Structure formats: structure tokens, C-alpha cells
Amino acid sequence: MTTSASHFWDAVAAGRIEIPYCETCRRYVFYPRAACPYCHAPLHCWIAVGGGGRLTGCTQVRRPAAPEWASRIPYWFCLVLLDEGVTVPAVFDAAAEQDQPAPGLRVVVEARPLWGRAALVAHPSPGEGRT
Ligand SMILES: [Zn+2]
């Protein structure tokens, strides 16, 4: 049986960010679940999104979320408000940023392997210069 969460992570492992979309009330929904939290219609539609968005928050992780990541701490974990209007969690690309990434920073989220696991990884959007 495929659950909503397994569909999401299978897509991430294949390099895609797919977000559930409610065809009844025409909204994206995140986190993945069986029914729309707004109108309670069953969610059957998944739409691949581009990953563009803005950071809404960031925190430094000192206890790894996965055993494989233990040697990577500390790293930045962030929340990204995608252009589609849903917030997703992501690891901030450690190579891209040493200081705490600022809320509001324009980023691109990618689905790709990170430190041995499929993950959502955020990095500054091209052209998002620092002054
Ligand atoms: Zn709905």
C-alpha cells in the first residue's frame, strides 16, 4: 500500500518535489495526507513544483535527524514557503552558507541525495546576492 508520505519520499528520491493538490478547493496541501484539511475531499492529485520560495525560519541542528548525518552537525534546518503557498522543511545547503540564513531569503529547494539519503535541500536562489 502506498501512503501519502511514501509517495512524497519516493518522488524526492527520484529528484522531484511533488505536492498534493486539492482539485475541489484548488489549493496545494502540505504535509501529504489522505484528505484535504480545508474541504475534506480525498487528495488524489500530485503536482511537481519548481522549488522556488522564501525562507521563513532556520535553526541550527546539533543532534542529527538521521544517523548518517551525525558527522555533519551542526547544520542548518529551515522552513521554506514555496511559491505554491505551502511550507516545506529542508536542509540548508551547508556549502552555500556559513552564517544563519536570514528569513525572507529567496531560495530554491531541490530534491536530491544529501549525505546518503534523499532530502529536500535549500540553497540561495541564483541572483540573490548578499551585500
Ligand atoms: Zn480542498
Distance 23 CA to ligand 1 centre (A): 7
Distance 29 CA to ligand 1 centre (A): 8
State the 10-residue block means of pLDDT for the chain, 131 residues long.
Answer: 83 97 96 95 95 95 84 90 97 74 93 90 79 41
List, in order, residues 6 or more apart from 52 with CB less than 8 Å away. 82, 83, 106, 107, 108, 109, 125
Each domain of the chain, given as residue ranges in start order, spans 4-49, 52-124
Distance 40 CA to ligand 1 centre (A): 6
pTM above 0.85, yes or no: yes
